[in-house]
Structure formats: C-alpha cells, structure tokens
Structure 1
Amino acid sequence: MMRIGEFALASGLTVKALHHYDAIDLLKPARVTANGYRTYSPRQLREAATIQALRNIGLALDTVAEALSNPHYINSFIERHRAHVADERARQDADAAQGSALIDSLELDYTVRRRSMPAQHWVGLQHEIRNLELEQVESPLATLRMALTEAGHTISGPWWTTLRQTAEAEVVEVLFCWPTTQIPAEPVGISGTIVESGTLPARDELFVTLETSDDDSDLGDLGAEAAQIAMIEQANDDGLELVHGSIRQVGVLADGGTPEAIELVIAIQ
C-alpha cells in the first residue's frame, strides 16, 4: 500500500487534489487507517493517471467521473470534448474577426444625410431571434410580400426592418415590413406568425447608405453599428434629439427592383 504522499508523487496529482477527489467520490483511497491516514493501492495509479490525463485535456470533473464509469467509451468522451473545443475555437476566431472588422469600420468616414419623409403605412411580420443570430431574412420578407399581394394590397416601396427588445434579455424581436398604400382593413393572416400594421408618421430623419451583398438578406452588415454611432454623434453635434427606438434598416432598390444597398435610418424630433 502507498501513503498519500507517495501516491501523489507517483501519480503526479497533488495531495490537495487527492483529498478533493476523495471528498467527491472520484478517487477514494483503498483504505483509511484508524488514525485517519489514507493509503492507496498501486493498482489505483492507472485510474489516477486517467483522471490526470482527462483533466489536462480539459474535461470537467463530472465528465471525468462519467468517463471512469464507462471505461470502454473514454475515447468517445475525448472526441466529444475535442469537437466542443473546435467549435468554441471557431466561435472565438469568428468573434475576433468580427471585432477587428468593427474596429476598422469605426475608422471609416460615414456620410450622414438628413431628409423629410411623408407618413407611410406599413405591414410587418414579427420574428424572434436569440443572441442576435439572424438567419437570412429573404424568406420572411418574401412570405409577407406574397401574402400582401394575394390579399390585394399594393406595396409602395422597399422593405425595412427594425429591432425591438423583449422581456427576455437574449431575445430580440425583428419586425420585417413592407410599406403599403393603405393599412389593411382585414388582418393579413400568415400561419404560425404574428402580422401587425401601422403608420410611420411624417418625420425628419438622418440616414447613412451602406453597401451590401447581391441579395436583400445582409442585415448583419458590420458597418451598421459604426454608422449608427456616426449618426448619433452627428445628431449630438447638431443639437438634434433622436426618436428612441426608431432605428430602421431600409432596402435600397435599383431600377429593376434588385437590392443594391441598405440605408440605416433614425428619426429625429
């Protein structure tokens, strides 16, 4: 039998770790003497080495315990952890690339313009997203446009979207809208969705035009955040008061109806 100090030295685990593993029933001593000394069997070195290896890989203690209970599947636990680490690394790389792109976009010189707009009727489709992970918006917009057309409503301009915070911090509501010549007298029904309508009042607004991709799904343009900052700064410099919650992304369509840019718009009081 080996005293705890000997076992720690042979296994590479610390005495403190061995005490902790005993307390959580991960690696208990083979015997505890009457005066409280812990002793271990040399055969436990293999189990200790396995624990050390799995911890060095990065497995949590509860996962290590589960792996020890299923020794024939330990490699499966390792592969699952490697896949998780790879996914996390990919996410970190993506976050780093996005952060770098945002920093670069903050250095750009955005042209902030002002215009007056008439009142505008609209119909919108609600869609919830989590953690601002927005899939392509082409489908909600196309679905809404088809429903409006089938109901006999006339679309009077390019689509626009806006974000609305919900009671749940990680969930944001996106409203996908088409402007119409009138507010529908009867609700526009689309199965499994919430459709609402309203009227944007006549207003003055600031806007910045952003380049986008070849389709109308690129609402995640990194320039949008920097452009929003530029508009807020411009409003502050000009002594203008912005309308809270009025930020919209508006599609800019070419003569043939194909999208060519996005406008980031915010109303001013």
Structure 2
Amino acid sequence: MKMPVIFAGHGSPMIALDDNELTHAFHDLGEEVIRRFGTPKAILALSAHWYTRGTYVQSSPSPRQIYDMYGFPKALYEVKYEPKGYRPLTDRVLSLLPQSSINDDWGIDHGTWTVLTHMFPGARIPVVQVSIDGTAGTKAAYETGKALASLREEGYLIFGSGNIVHNLYKVEWDNEAGSPAADRFDAFITGKVKDRDDSAVIHFDSHPDADYAVPTPDHFLPLLYTLGASIGENPRVFNAVRNLGSMSMTGYVFGLC
C-alpha cells in the first residue's frame, strides 16, 4: 500500500508546546495514517531548516536533535524528540538521487521535530532528513520529489515541513490572523494545489504578493518536493489558517482522499 505524502506548515517553534486546533490536527493526521496504512518503516523528512548547496542525506543511526532557534522559553529546549535513523532509507535515497551524498553534520531540526512530536509522538518511527537544495530552484525541487515518489510504495512516508507564507520581517506579533497579502497568496497557492496546477505553484513568483509571501525560498521549496512526490493526487487541506500576520500554517496531505 502506497504511503501518503504530507506537507505541514510549522510556523513558530513554540508549536511543539502548544495544545490547540493546529496541534490536534497534526495528532489526528498521524493517527489516521497509522490506522489506514500501518506504521511507516521510516519517515523521509524535508525540512526548510536544512537548507544547503546541493542535496544531502543523513546516515547516522542516531541523528541528534537540533535546537536551531534562539530566544525561546527554556521549556522548548527541554522537548525531547530523538528518533533513530534508518540506513536502508538512506541507501535508497542515494540510489534514487545520484547527485546526493551523505552528510551527518546536521540532525533532526525544529522544522521536523516540532511537528512530528504531535503527529507521531514518542519518536518511535525512524527519521531520515534530506536537505533542501537552495541552488536548484523550484522546478528542480519538483523533479527531485518525483524521483523520490517510489519510496511510498516501499513503506516510507514523505514529509515536507515549511510554510506557504513565511516572512519574518513582516511578522505582526499581536495579529492572531493573517495580513491581506498573506491571505491572498495562501488562497492562490491552495487553489492551485487543489486543482493540481503544479506549474502555477512552480512559477509562484508571478503572483503579485509573491515577494511578500516568499522573500526567501527555503520555506516554500518543501512544498514543491511533496507535489513532485504526489503527482495527480488530490490533496486534503488541513490547518488552513494564517497567524502572526505573515505566517501560513496551511498543510496538505496527498494519498488520503
């Protein structure tokens, strides 16, 4: 049975400590995946926060948890999520992406663990991160996702973590919703994802709010990997909200409809 593909909006790292509708949606989605498909052999994670020149894959049997954020309450740095690695998945990625190579300097960063601590609590499922190639562009990210798609047939869950709208320069700390520009861009991308107009998402920069919503590509590119890994599949939209003005929490899951 083919495993789903998930793109999650991770937003503030504080979501690891939250108990709200967003985190409940993460939890319920993880439970549904296991109920319907069984426990994944491992999770292939594509986090915005491992942003590199080239494509790298982890091979460590015990990747370290990274607290790659600063200035947050002590309780956040006490959250433990320490899954094992899974060398068979590492080797499959290397075979599917000949341009990739092993790099264990990184680990399980907050783009991954702040979501998975709710979605798959207990860190019982192995996790292997693959880096986001910041030099390759949107089309290349999509094609890399296509190359990884066959992993789903082998019991691996593909998980991308980023944000449709992510502009830290425009954060509105007192705004519990989204700015007009964030709402417009999020609605545009969600509409194109639902229509499976992947080309429009690849060429998102044609939208008038693109510079506001995606000032840097790191948080948007994980979506392109997940679209490539799920070609033709209709999404289920979850957590379709904006917060802090310039942050979108919208997520999509493919293969559950």
TM-score (normalised: structure 1):
0.22
Higher Cα Rg: structure 1 or 2? Answer: 1
Structure in which a larger fraction of residues adopt strand:
1
Compute the TM-score of the two structures, normalised by the length of structure 2.
Answer: 0.23
Asked which structure has the greater RCO (Cα within 8 Å, sep 6+), the reply is: 2
